[in-house]
Every structure is written in C-alpha cells, then in structure tokens.
Structure 1
Amino acid sequence: MLPGDLMLLLIDQRSGRVRIGSTSAENALAGAVLVELVNSGRVAFEPNGKKLRVVDPTPLNDLVLNEALGRLTKPLRPQSAVERVRKRLWNNVIGQLRDHSVIRVEPRKVLGIFPAKSYPIVDEAAAEKLRKAVGEVVHGYRGADAHIGSLITLLYAVDAVHKVFVGDKREIRKRAKEIARGNWAGDAVRRAVEAIQAGVTAAASAAASGE
C-alpha cells in the first residue's frame, strides 16, 4: 500500500531515522491514503472537481485506510482532506509496519535530552526491492507505473525526493517534477493525484507558515 511504502522510503536504512520533518511526512502520508481511497472507489471528487467526498463507506481490509475513511465525514477540498486525515496517521502507519515485522520501534534521545524514536528496518529485502524499483524511475532507467508514479509525486510534493535518493539534487528534482506531471495513470486517477498533490503542498506550506 502507498502509505507503508512511502514511510519505508522516508526511513534512513542506516540510522532508522526519518529523513524529513514529521509534519511533511504526515502530509505526504495523508496524500498517500487519499490516493488509495480514490483508487479503491471509496472516495471521489464531486462533479465540479473541487471537493473530495465519500461515495462508498464499505470498510476496506486495511485499518489505516478505514480509520482515515471515517474521518471524511463531509466533502472537503484536498488541502482540508489532507489536514483531516493526517491526524494520528504517523502512529497508525508506523504501527502497521511494526506489526507486519517490516520495522521495529526503538526509543532514542535528541541531544541526549529530548525523547524521540527511531525505526530500524527489519525486512531489509523488501525495503531494498522497493528502493531499487522507485530509484530506477527517479534516475530515468525506466518509466513509472501508477504506484511508483504516485510515490514519487508525493515525495516531490514535500520536496523530499533528493533526500531519499542519492544523486545531483537539481537533476533529481527536475526528474521528479517531470514524473509528477507524467502520463502514467488513467485520466481519472491522474486528475485525483494532481489535486491531492496540490493539497499536500498547500498543507505543507500552511504548516510552515504557522496557519
């Protein structure tokens, strides 16, 4: 699923620490959840294309997605949907990865004082397979499919692609921008991802400005 894969990409394989700030990560994860809900047919845009709403409340076989689905109690613009869905999302996604034995959670201290956590990767084979597949697209060795295209688009929305993959920062950003605008999904999914990407970017900007 997109949220778990996105989180796995954001975790540094050597240190177990997340490569970007928690607010940016939460916004990107919320975008991933919304893309999954659109793909599952549970959420869709209203006819005017401005707001997301639940069109099928049938529970999914995924606790993270179901918890998020329950938060969408009214039609919301993408930015508001991202801000609504991101609540508790970090812990939910981390908990799911831990329960599936993909990562473990360890306490640590920042500057020897402030409590924090690291997330060492347990399933290194799965993490490396994912990183290799996405990296090949980022570096232009092959084209994107809907899953990888969505992952790169969400990383790009929070300016994190160059923090996840090694290479020239400018070239990686340029390539990610091209992928984010690419034609790797059907029209309906493409429009949804573009709108959700804009919502993630807006939510990140609002958080940074303290709104």
Structure 2
Amino acid sequence: MTLTLGEEIMLLSLDDDSGAARERQACQWAVAGAIVLELVLAGRVSVDCGRIAVVDTASTGVWLLDDRLRMIDAWAAGKSKPPKVTEWLTKNHRKVLDATLESLRERGLVSQEQRKVLGLFPVRRFPEADGSVERELRGRLEGLVLRHGEPDDRSAGLIALLHGAKLHRLAFPDLPRKEVSPRMREIAEGRWAGESVSKAIQDMQAAMSAVALVTMRS
C-alpha cells in the first residue's frame, strides 16, 4: 500500500493504543508541508524561492492531494504574484489533519473512536487497526538513517520534513535526537534527486524550520 507523505507522518504521530496524535501542533505543519511536497513530486505544484504556484490542475488520483490542489489553486488565483509557502501552511495546517486522518481510516489503517475528556468534552481518537504499513515505514526509516541506505526522492522528502519540523522523536522514539539528527540533516540537504526536486525539498525543509520556530514560541 502506497501512502502519501502526509499520511506517513500522521501514522508516525498516532499512538498505536490510545489513537492520540503526539506532538500534534508540529505534526500539523509537517503534514501540510508534506502534501505540498507530494504535489511538487507529482508535477502539479512548483515551489521556487519559498513561493508556491500551481502548474497543472489535473487529478492525481488521490482525493487527499486533489482537494488541497484545488484549494491552493483557488487561494493563489487572486494573488498578484505567487504567494509564500509559509502563508499556505499557516492557512491550512490546522484543517489538514482531519482530512489525513479520514484518509487513513478509509484505508483501514486506523479506526475511529469517540471519547469524552473529564466526562464532558468529546474528542476523537484513531487507534491502530492495521500496523503492518507503519512497521514497514519505520523499518524503511531505520534502514536509511541508522544503516545509511540511499533514499529515493519521496523518502528523502519525508526525512527532510521530519527533520525540518523537529519531529525526530516520532520516527525514532527510543533514540536521542543527537544520534539521528546528523544523518537526517545529511539526507535533507543531499542531492538525492534531480535539481528541481532537490530544490523543492530544501525549500520545504526551510519552511518547516521557519514554522517550527513559530511552534516553539507559541
């Protein structure tokens, strides 16, 4: 099963038993950034010097991506020049988690439960329903970061987003950040892909670093 980058980050964030999202605020930014990067890799969106533009409105065949593509296109249409990626992330990051969670539920990877906090406030939780995809994902990350495997475009993008959003603990909860951060930085800054994709990954990592500062200050 092939997941989007945003779904992969969301899977890493969800606690398998309780279904609660760990590091939720930073995860929102990373998932929003992941969808943009996925659209870049699909040739639907370009990111240049931190600015975003739609270059092809054709369907990707993935509703999670197509919904955001339509939103970006409508939002950017009224601008005099391509808007900044960080502006889109600020606009979209709180909304995108619900859509990503729904996609994971439809794929049968998580279930949905309604609970009440303090017996009063309803909250939704998404405990694991099928852990095989997450296990494969974590194994792939370990191979690239701990055993210095060579990443493909999407894996390099995923690691760059996690590193830029300072979500090292989601991918490697049992290891201190100092043991994984140097290799994740190397992958994020490396030339693993063509020039345009590498530039987009670097721009998205810069955007994640910028919004991570906002997250830490808020």
Q: TM-score, normalised by structure 2?
A: 0.85
State the alpha-carbon separation in 2 of the partners of residues 38 and 111 from structure 1: 43
The DSSP-based 3-state class of the residue aligned with 2:144 is helix
Report how many aligned residue pairs link the two structures: 207
- 1:158-196 Cα offsets, whole Å, 9 max, x none, are 111134312232111222222211222211101001111
In structure 2, the partner of 1:32 is 34
State the alpha-carbon separation in 2 of the partners of residues 108 and 126 from structure 1: 26
Equivalent pair of 1:80/1:199 in contact (CA under 8 Å): no
Structural mapping, 1:48-197, within 5 Å: 49-72=49-72, 73-74=75-76, 75-110=82-117, 114-165=121-172, 166-197=174-205
Equivalent pair of 1:150/1:193 in contact (CA under 8 Å): yes
* Gap runs ≥5 in structure 1: none
How large is the RMSD of aligned CA atoms in angstroms? 2.0
- 1:35-92 Cα offsets, whole Å, 9 max, x none, are 111111111135xx34211111223212211221122232221211222332521000
State the alpha-carbon separation in 2 of the partners of residues 50 and 159 from structure 1: 19
Q: TM-score, normalised by structure 1?
A: 0.88
The DSSP-based 3-state class of the residue aligned with 1:86 is helix
State the alpha-carbon separation in 2 of the partners of residues 61 and 51 from structure 1: 25
- Percent identical residues: 29
* Gap runs ≥5 in structure 2: 77-81
Aligned-pair CA distance for 1:95? 0.3
In structure 2, the partner of 1:8 is 11
